[in-house]
Structure 1
Amino acid sequence: MGAGKSCIGRLLAASLDLPFVDADKEIEAAAGCSIEDIFAAHGEEAFRDGERRVIARLLDEPKMVLATGGGAFLDPETRQLIRERATSVWLRADVDLLLRRTSRRNNRPLLKRGDPRQILNDLIEQRYPVYAEADVVVDSVDGPPETTLARVIKGLRRHFEESGAAAQGAAPRSASQ
């Protein structure tokens, strides 16, 4: 949350001439209410279950750029589906950047449970080791989104070149760059 998934995802989709889909928006449409309302009425476990089903459905559709919520990749079943059907990109960001970006809006259910900096630090400690399993790792920067977009495109090119070479037996595939 706050790394730039939606912003960079939209730019990437436009540059690749693909549709952009935000999994959180799809979850809200399927549930008929906001993510914040899902958390409040049913809890995080119910939200994650719905998130898993929606992402599985989306991964069966034609090519797209899909932005998933911050906790989606933590789910082993969802992570496996992404490995099998997609190329994953982690937009890595430090806590200060995440804090600046998430403080702009007040609709982050996980950050309403206490001190946002401590919550983000705890999430980083918990999630970043799993996120590191992504096919492409790119540092999100505070600046024009086109800077991060260029890094994503470069990372994707490198990933596809390396995985193409690996398929021909020339080089091993590296999941995190």
Structure 2
Amino acid sequence: MNVVLIGYRGTGKSTVGKMVASRLGRTMVSTDAEVVKRAGQSIPEIVAQHGWDYFRDLESQVCRDMAHVDGLVIDTGGGAILRPENVDRLKTAGTIFWLTASVETIMKRIGRDTQRPSLTGTKSFIDEVRDVLRERTPKYEAAADHVIATDGRPIVQIADEILARL
């Protein structure tokens, strides 16, 4: 059984995932990192050259492949839940934890990250975060087995909560 972390950019999936994996003695894998590896390009390059649909296709292939491996901690990209087949595969393969954070926390955490391409292309950063969260929240809720708030909490406390719920 896998531990699957979902949530918007900057909610702590990668950081918390590393700690959970370490404490469980498991391998942590990132769907975004695997997409980059397979494409041989960064996410901004993939999106600029091929578009978001192509990126999502690669992401779906990665989710499919990871769902066939047991004993992983999977850090998903923020949009992995946009495709129902990804959610179905990940739910079948593990327990899904939705990591949440406020818009303000997300903006502090990812505000200057140039490796994260715009999801909307035209909106201000704060409007993009609010709008995309509004759109995705029902999908995160539907996919999640557990919801973990990360605002103002130490990483170790978040990891402890995940481990207690396994």
TM, length-normalised to structure 2: 0.89
Contact 1:141 1:147 in 2 (8 A): no
**Compared with structure 1, are the counterparts of its residues 99 and 53 closer, same or farther at alpha carbon in structure 2 (3 Å cutoff)?**
same
How much identity, in percent, do the aligned residues show?
32
Q: Which has the higher helix share?
A: 1
> Which shows bigger deviation, 105-114 or 66-75?
105-114
Rg comparison, structure with higher value: 1
Match of 1:36 in 2: 44
User: What is the SS of the residue equivalent to 1:96?
Assistant: helix
Displacement after TM superposition at 1:92 (Å): 0.9
Corresponding position of 2:4 = none
Aligned with residue 126 of structure 1, among 124, 127, 135: 135
How far apart, in 2, do the equivalents of 1:49 and 1:111 lie?
16
Give RMSD over aligned pairs: 1.4
Contact 1:93 1:139 in 2 (8 A): yes
Contact 1:52 1:72 in 2 (8 A): yes
Q: Relative contact order (alpha carbons < 8 A, sep ≥ 6): 1 or 2 greater?
A: 2
Aligned residues: 156
Question: What SS class does the counterpart of residue 88 from structure 1 fall into?
Answer: strand
More strand by share: 2
* Deviation (angstroms), 1:141: 2.1
Shift of 1:146: 1.2
Residue 135 of structure 1 corresponds to which residue in structure 2?
145
State whether residues 120 and 128 of structure 2, in contact with CA within 8 Å, keep that contact through their aligned partners in structure 1.
no
Gaps of 5+ in 2: 1-8
Residue 63 of structure 2 aligns with an amino acid whose one-letter code is: I
| Structure 1 CA distance for aligned equivalents of residues 64 and 40 of structure 2 | 19
Q: In structure 2, what is the Cα distance between the partners aligned to 1:38 and 1:96?
A: 28
Q: What residue in structure 1 maps to residue 108 of structure 2?
A: 100
Q: Find the aligned partners of 1:38 and 1:121 in 2 and give their Cα distance.
A: 24
State the alpha-carbon separation in 2 of the partners of residues 111 and 148 from structure 1: 27
Corresponding position of 1:68: 76
Runs of 4+ in structure 1 off by over 4 angstroms are none
Aligned partner of 1:7 among 5, 10, 15: 15
